[in-house]
Chains A and B, each alone.
Chain A
């Protein structure tokens, strides 16, 4: 086995997968929270963490908290493991794409 091959083997891919999937989860969460704050009155008022910025403050802060918690939990579980990277990368990219699409107002207004 080459030196490069053994360095890959020595470093599990779990940390990378955790970071990637957490980012996908955060993107999707942000879009869902934005839709909820736009459509549901009580969510809208609950998301006002800082009045001058309005519900955007709560939507983004909550998404950041979800992101960091997801990242910490996944990192703790996968740090020393080699995981099925292909499936996790696909899931993360799908979640990121949904985040991009669902923040687009004409699509968000369908809900």
Chain B
């Protein structure tokens, strides 16, 4: 069982940070609403607040790790230009997608949207974390602020969903490959 270094970084970016963000963000939205809504059946305790502070900080860290690894590690491999005369475009995902009318949309719509919209995620998640650290349980009494950060979190979840969906589809149609091969395990002979 082998993976290349580029495949490993792509998996870390998409599944390690991106997918975990999506999972954690859905939990944050539910928990935030459940504990801080005006008619919350179970109001937040000091312990809940401490837990949510750590949770939001981890959420923001995941968002930053996802966009930074995506933009500065995986994306340069995706957009690398092939040397003149190259006929095998498998090592140049962007050019591979652009070479066929049936796949060009994955780049011109998918990647073009994903690469920008994903950056709204760490911005809104960091803001949410900062506001939560500042106000904590008092957000229950600050309705416009509480509702606005809930909407920001929903927007962030949507943006991360767009980035995650297109990331998965792009990697399906034109995987980022190459680099050092990492050997994990040997299989049994059939």
Contacts and interface: CB of A to CB of B under 8 A. Distances in A.
Answer yes or no: do A and B interact: yes
Interface of A: 4-5, 7-8, 11, 13, 15-17, 19-20, 22-23, 26-27, 30-31, 34, 50, 52-54, 56-57, 59-60, 63-64, 67, 85-86, 89, 92-93, 96-97, 99-100, 103-106, 108
B152 interface: yes
Nearest to A17: B145
B113 to A, nearest CB: 6
Contacts of A19: 127, 130-131, 134
A13 B149 CA distance: 13
Interface of B: 67, 71-72, 75-76, 79-80, 108-109, 112-113, 115-117, 119-120, 123-124, 126-127, 130-131, 134-135, 138, 141-142, 144-145, 147-149, 151-152, 155, 158-159
Contacts, number: 108
Contacts of B80: 52
A93 B120 CA distance: 12
Contacts of A16: 131, 134-135, 142, 145
A103 B110 CA distance: 11
